A and B are shown apart, each in its own frame.
Chain A
Amino acid sequence: MSDSKTPLLDELEKGKWPSFVKDLKKLAQRSPKAKDLLGQLELSYKDKMTHWKHGGIVGVKGYGGGVIGRFSDAGDQFPGAAHFHTVRVNQPSGWFYTSTALRELMDIWDKYGSGIVNMHGSTGDLILLGVDTDNLEPLFTDLSNADWDLGGSGSDARTPSCCLGPARCEFACYDTLALTYDITMTYQDELHRPFFPYKWKFKMAGCPNDCVASIARSDFSIIGIWRDNIRIDQDEIKKYADSGLNIAADVVNKCPKNCVEWDGKALKIDDEGCSKCMHCINVMPKALRPGEDKGACILIGAKAPIVEGAQLSSVLVPFMKLEPPYDELKSLIRRIWDFWDEFGKARERIGECIQRIGLGNFLEKVGLDPVPQMVLQPRDNPYIFYEEYFEEE
């Protein structure tokens, strides 16, 4: 008979994929909090049920967000898990690190918390899992002196995140890292002190491939795009063809807009008809590149199902140039927040608020002109709320 206290979890030590159980069991030898977390998780595996209580309000002085209270309902049995709060640390743009910085951060974390982290949370933060209430202030002091700050939580601007963009991707149509840093710094107050109707997420993607799922996961999606022609290097096209790529099958026939032509010698693109979907560029990155007149499409309103059903973001500004200091973008954000402040209901995301009020009315309130790019098609029902009518004199 094995005397292991976690027989169920031990099963997850097997297999090809890295095992968090193996890793955390090792940690448990020096971290009582990690040990009790595993104990409680084993209990959940046995009971098929969570043993976390509803979050309580904890935090650090002067901040309304960044810390999420977490208390165990099995704290008697697992005292180390009794308080197990989450601290969201605002990640650097693009999730770039040096080992020196990560080591310093881990040393601070080991001093005050369980030693367990998430690289990274769904919104993008580096997550520290498992600290007692009493250790929150000293942890925060050390973090801030090592140049780290907290991210968002609750009804505030959540930590903005972005793809690695121009740092290592030839497709980037604007500087996602710079914009993310700028937005994060500009809205520190909105990030740390929740006074929105509900959460607000920014995600910056450098091109329509959208590697950060901004169209699905952010209230305000900034997705890079270009306006002019795809740049073609015919020599490289030939090399792709010579190396065995079937350009007719894999590029021409897959173009959703039927706008690529290939006669075996040269590739032609009808850029007027191109939807900038990225497919041809993804297949032949050496030969094709986005154009040079670059910027971003701004979309609004994505969210998961709760409450009124899931939504994808929809187009607000089909194309905007994005250069520092980003005045046009920030003015738009401010107008939308002012609108939301006036019309939003508690726990209603901006996407739901726009659905309730109507996109047309929303545009009027934030001072944007309606353009056909905002919809897939005009309405197909005649229930129009005309705002004016004539009367006999």
Chain B
Amino acid sequence: MSTPQRRTDIGPPHYEKFLHPIIKNNYGKWKYHEVLKPGVLVHVAEGGDKIYTVRAGSPRLMSSDFVRFLCDLAEKYCDGYLRFTSRNNVEFLLANKDNIEPLINDLSANGISAGGTKNTISNIVHTQGWVHCHSAATDASGLVKAVMDELCDYFTGKIELPHKLRIAVACCLNMCGAVHCSDIAILGVHRRPPKINYERLSNLCEIPSIIASCPLAAIRPTIIDGKKSVEVDEDNCMYCGNCYTVCPAMPIADPLNDGVSIWVGGKVSNARTTPMFTKLAIPFLPNNPPRWPEAVAAVKNIVEVYARGAKKYERVGEWINRIGWPKFFDLTGIEFTKYHIDDFKYAGKTYRTTTQMV
């Protein structure tokens, strides 16, 4: 038997192969869309053709069998056409309106909710966590599951919000996700300088690249047991873990001190206001697997205070900008601490230089 030839640099399959015939026929000719109910969209083309979309939350981390299960549903209700969204939702693309309800019923019989459209909390964008990353200060999949269990009614539209709300989770400062521009972000943090394994370091790592990796120049060359090595100026370290990325002999994970921080008020869309970064709400909450009750409660509190106080079409950041940060801390009951005041480069930009407090 001859071994099959491998092919290189062929690129991904052409997307046209995967487009529903109605989509292919109306490509670039869509006129408008409507949200028929939470999780259900209809897009109408210039010529009157319609394609229906049912959007449902997926756990992102899944088995091949779960993918096959989604395929079964797609074959049963929409000729096998499905897609995924940038927020890890699955979307079924239906020609036949009558299939919408049976599909939703089939999904919910299997514990999957339709939703994530319009003024809802869509699925959480997240990273690998303890499931698959060496850098992680927390888990992502478990944290997301715990948060979404609590916020599911906001996903399905059972509880309405003033506007859409986007949550993201990243398990370390590398932030493999748009955590820094989400309405609410949960970010895993380390809180202790790296511990250096001198022996491994001299075998594994290049001293100049370790030194160059530190944003705060907290790593200095030194000699340990006659060998070139490094030392960390612990007062200058902000636990970013970049040195660990460069050198495995500088582990930073520490069960006693790792945990999560909560951030608010970011957005990427240009609607009304320009894109915004998230800002710190809570500097530290403990890692408390399997359900992270402190983090879940903190997120839920912010969602509820926002839902009560924001005006229609205000994203979290827009709401806070209207009421002012003092009021945000007041309403949420979150303590304002020294850690909330920026002390990185150009920190002065965030000091209040007006008597206007709102």
Chain A interface residues toward B at CB < 8 A = 8-9, 11-12, 14-24, 26-27, 34, 37, 41, 44-45, 47-55, 61-63, 70, 84, 86, 90-103, 106, 109-110, 115-124, 129, 137, 140-142, 144-145, 147-149, 161, 163-164, 166-170, 172, 175, 177, 181, 184-185, 188-189, 192, 208-217, 249-250, 254-256, 275-279, 282-283, 285-286, 289, 304-310, 312, 346-347
Among the 9-residue stretches B173-181, B227-235, B297-305, B320-328, the one with 4 or more Cβ atoms under 8 Å from chain A is B173-181
Residues 57-113 of B contacting A (Cβ, < 8 Å): 57-68, 70-72, 74-75, 80-86, 88, 90, 93, 111-113
- Contact of B30 with A168 in the complex, beta carbons under 8 Å: yes
Residues of B within 8 Å of A12, CB to CB, are 142, 145-146, 290-291
Among the 9-residue stretches B1-9, B218-226, B331-339, B350-358, the one with 4 or more Cβ atoms under 8 Å from chain A is B1-9
Given contacts A18-B59, A304-B175, contact A145 B7 (CB under 8 A): yes
The proximity string for B residues 189-226 relative to A, scoring 1 for CB distances below 8 Å and 0 otherwise, is: 00000000000000000000100110100000000000
Q: How many residues of B contact A (CB 8 A)?
A: 115
Which A residue sits closest to B176, measured CB to CB? A122
Q: CA–CA, A310 to B244, complex, Å?
A: 19
- Contact of A84 with B179 in the complex, beta carbons under 8 Å: no
- Contact of A92 with B242 in the complex, beta carbons under 8 Å: no
Which A residue sits closest to B142, measured CB to CB? A12
Residues of A within 8 Å of B18, CB to CB, are 92, 96-98, 101
Which A residue sits closest to B13, measured CB to CB? A147
- Determine which of B86, B112, B133, B271 lies in contact with A208 in the assembled complex, contact meaning CB atoms within 8 Å: B271
Chain B interface residues toward A at CB < 8 A = 3-15, 17-19, 23, 27-28, 30-34, 43, 51, 53, 57-68, 70-72, 74-75, 80-86, 88, 90, 93, 111-113, 125, 127, 129-136, 139, 141-142, 145-146, 148-149, 152, 173-181, 209, 212-213, 215, 240, 242, 244-246, 248, 253-255, 258, 266, 268-273, 275, 277, 287, 289-291, 312-313, 344-345
- Contact of A97 with B83 in the complex, beta carbons under 8 Å: yes
- Contact of B149 with A188 in the complex, beta carbons under 8 Å: no
What are 25 residue pairs bridging A and B, where the CB atoms are less than 8 Å apart in the complex?
Answer: A17-B57, A17-B145, A27-B63, A44-B130, A50-B253, A63-B8, A96-B19, A99-B81, A102-B70, A116-B62, A118-B62, A119-B84, A119-B90, A120-B84, A123-B176, A144-B6, A144-B10, A168-B30, A181-B14, A213-B86, A216-B266, A277-B271, A278-B271, A279-B313, A285-B34
Given contacts A50-B136, A306-B240, contact A20 B145 (CB under 8 A): yes
Residues of B within 8 Å of A45, CB to CB, are 130, 139, 142, 289-290
Given contacts A209-B269, A304-B180, contact A118 B61 (CB under 8 A): yes
- Contact of A18 with B112 in the complex, beta carbons under 8 Å: yes
Residues of A within 8 Å of B65, CB to CB, are 23, 26-27, 115
* Minimum CB–CB distance for B182 against chain A, Å: 9
- Contact of B15 with A213 in the complex, beta carbons under 8 Å: no
* Minimum CB–CB distance for A45 against chain B, Å: 4
Q: CA–CA, A208 to B274, complex, Å?
A: 10
Q: CA–CA, A251 to B44, complex, Å?
A: 23
Which among A45, A48, A100, A115 has the highest number of chain B CB atoms within 10 Å? Answer: A48
Residues of B within 8 Å of A163, CB to CB, are 86
- Contact of A96 with B15 in the complex, beta carbons under 8 Å: yes
